[in-house]
A and B are shown apart, each in its own frame.
Chain A
Amino acid sequence: MRAEQRSGTLLAAPYVGFLLAFAAYPILFAVILVFLQWDLVTAPAFTGLDNVRLLASDSRFWRAVANTFVFLSIHVPLQIATALALAVALNRRLVLRSFWRAAFFLPVVISGAVVAILWSNLYATDVGLINRLLVRIGLAPVPWLTDPATAMPAIAVMVTWKNVGFYVIIYLAGLQYIPRSCQEAIEIDGANAWQRFRYLTLPSLLPQTILVVTLSTINGFQLFIEPYVMTGGGPLRRTYSVVLYLYTNAFSYQKMGYAATIGVALALIIGGVVFAQRRLIGRAEAL
């Protein structure tokens, strides 16, 4: 089909061009940049592995990585627990079911910048809504975003809140696939509600849980707008994220080579972590 070959190639050509210019080239150039130092004004200078060496001993970078793990250690379990609980609650004949679903999903469609600004105000130590509520019920206000111990956890809770609707949908989709006969069989076998959840629902949702873990981990490593808007990376750099550091190096310090190195390192870290997670969960499933 000569004509088909021609039309196909013609139609696909713009995309190929696009991929070359905006995918292949940047990926390649990113690796090249690792070996350069460049401020976009003067000519780039070849610096060998300097950037890599600097990165390896850069406490700010590793602080950012550590922060991300703090974030993930709170965000991921919280995300799984809340999304799962809401999905199980929603997975039945309910009055106003679409309304509940829409309510939980609302923050997902709202811009991250808006959510960050909104929660900055909610978390504000003196006038923030949350502290006002705490005082109302007799508890002491907490300096959420200014205390190094609570800042990242506070952001983790906020990001969980923002994204939970998305994962609820994923879990809901998975719940539909549990055959009704299995649910009835386990009832007849003698399981109460908790046992049904533990022996049937939870194991059946393993693929979804893996997805939740992977996506929220990747999301966690890509954190930017939240620390940028809410804390600027403080207090004491406890909310400094890797992408924030990347951005600062590019935009403020004009160090393109180093920023690109951070980008490459981040990609490698994300790849490694996700790979390790899938392995771990896969092994847990086999047990």
Chain B
Amino acid sequence: MASVSFDRISKKFDAVTVVEEFNLEVADGELLVLVGGSGSGKSTILRMVAGLEDVTSGKIRIDQRDVTPLPPRERDVAMVFQDYGLYPHMTVRENLSLGLRLRNVGRQEIERRVAWAAGMLGLEKLLDRRPKQLSGGQRQRVAMGRAMVREPLVFLFDEPLSNLDAGLRAQMRIEIGSLQRRLKTTTIYVTHDQVEAMTLGDRIVVLADGRIQQVGRPIDLYRAPSNRFVAGFIGTPPMNFVEGRVASDDGAQVFTAEAARVRLPEGGIAAGVLAEPVTLGIRPEDLRVDPAAAQGESLLGRVVLVERLGGTSHIHFDVGPHRMMASVARDGMGGVGESITVRVPVDRVHLFGADGRSLLQSSQ
């Protein structure tokens, strides 16, 4: 049980800066997700907490204690690796207990903890097997058990579900989430999958190029992304983007692009930003097919493709040169080639400046 704090952490490999000025406080018992693409620095940050990478500058504190100069074994953290990192020549029981044996924990205590972890993870029957006799999901659980048994201050997860197939991934996601809630151990979880991030995290940190793009609760990142990167990263299917400009028209502000005109809500954006190139963002699930939608609140397009998933349909359509998608319930109307009118709820519209920062956010 401990807080983790990052104080101006940066990491350079030779001349390349991989993590820059990273500041963050992770609360005791929180499940914090670091999410981003490859090269975003998320794994590096995690490994710095573990002590597997040196910190170029800054301090990391676990439970108020400065661990920056300490090697991994003195930090009281436990890590679950992407490829599990199970010791191939040891049985599951030995894998689980090695950490405790190395710390001279008494035999009875070791047995108690191993039994407890095995029970929680459904590993009781597998204790005498070797890793190569286990399935991917079972190895996953052993890796988690190994971490749990140590009762560390912090759990670190490095993309633990990446090597599992989709069905198993969904199931393990739920298990990890409920396990963490029961154990209440501070957890830092790294993934590139935004679904994992949204479902597991108490808070999410979106990273790109070694910099924090935004920190917040999943729902806050969804509703109020602070820049275009976060807006496009969070939420599936991803947000629609249209490049254009904002012009003033009779006191109201209007977003215009080729073949598209959308009225902006009351208040709109700051006057100083008018006439700059901007990007409009609207989520597919916010769009509706509505032939009766008013001008200024709708887009006119031609259907290119309809993906019917049963409960929802993804309608891909072209508005002039812009390719967009609407995600509607059930069987969306519209066959390929037909024209389509899509209503744009103006209070759900996002606007981003030329540099990506948010100018206007959906009010929902």
Q: List chain B residues, Cβ under 8 A from A200.
A: 87
Chain B 156-177, CB-CB to A under 8 Å as 1, else 0, gives 0000000000000000000000
A195 partner residues in chain B, CB cutoff 8 A: 102
A222 close to chain B: CB less than 8 A: no
Tell me if A186 and B81 are in contact (CB < 8 A).
no
B90 / chain A contacts, CB cutoff of 8 Å: 203
Give the docked Cα–Cα distance between A179 and B87 (Å): 9
- The winner among A181, A195, A203 for most chain B CB atoms within 10 A is A181
CB pair A187 B52 closer than 8 Å: yes
Shortest CB-to-CB span from B240 to chain A, Å, is 39
B232 at the interface (CB under 8 A from A): no
Residues of A within 8 A of B304 (CB): none
Interface centre among A179, A187, A190 (most CB of B within 10 A): A190
Given contacts A179-B83, A181-B83, whether A187 and B73 have CB atoms under 8 Å apart is yes
Is A273 part of the binding interface, using a Cβ–Cβ cutoff of 8 Å? Answer: no
Interface residues of B in 132-163 (CB under 8 A from A): 146, 150
Interface residue? A157 (CB, 8 A): no
**Residues of chain A lying within 8 A (CB to CB) of residue B52:** 184, 187-188
Q: Inside 8 A of B78's CB, which chain A residues have their CB?
A: 188
A-side contacts of B98, CB under 8 Å: 186, 189, 191, 199
B61-77 vs A, Cβ < 8 Å mask (1 yes, 0 no):
00000000001110001
Produce 1/0 per residue, A191-235, CB < 8 A to B: 110010001100110100000000000000000000000000000
Quick check: is A129 within 8 A (CB to CB) of the other chain?
A: no
Contacts of A191 on B, CB cut-off 8 Å? 73, 98, 102
Report whether B103 and A179 are in contact in the complex, using a CB–CB cutoff of 8 Å.
no
Chain B residue numbers with a CB within 8 Å of A184 are 50, 52, 72, 79, 81, 85
> With A181-B82, A184-B79, A195-B102 in contact, is A189–B88 under 8 Å at CB?
no
Q: With an 8 A cutoff between CB atoms, is A21 at the interface?
A: no
Kindly state the interface size class of chain A when it binds its partner: 10 to 19
CB neighbours (8 Å) of B72 from chain A are 184, 187-188
Taking each of B51, B77, B88, which has the highest tally of chain A beta carbons within 10 Å of its own beta carbon?
Answer: B88
Q: Does B82 lie within 8 Å of A187, measured CB to CB? A: no
User: Contact between B77 and A186 (Cβ–Cβ < 8 Å)?
Assistant: no
Which residues of chain A are within 8 angstroms of B85 by Cβ–Cβ distance?
179, 181-182, 184-185
**Residues in chain A near residue B99, CB distance under 8 A:** 188-190
Interface 1/0s, chain B 272-312, versus A by CB < 8 A?
Answer: 00000000000000000000000000000000000000000
Q: Which of B71, B84, B150 contacts A187 (CB 8 A)?
A: B71
Tell whether, in the assembled complex, residue B103 and residue A190 are in contact, meaning their CB atoms are under 8 Å apart: yes
The contact of A199 among B82, B87, B88, by CB within 8 Å, is: B87
- Shortest CB-to-CB span from A226 to chain B, Å, is 37
B267, chain A: closest CB distance, angstroms: 52
B86 in contact (CB, < 8 A) = yes
B89, CB-defined interface residue at 8 Å: yes
Smallest CB-CB A-B distances: 10 pairs: A181-B85, A189-B99, A185-B85, A181-B81, A190-B73, A190-B102, A203-B89, A187-B72, A188-B72, A182-B85
Given A185-B79, A188-B73, output 10 extra A-B contacts at Cβ < 8 Å: A179-B83, A181-B81, A182-B87, A185-B87, A188-B52, A189-B102, A189-B150, A190-B73, A199-B102, A203-B89
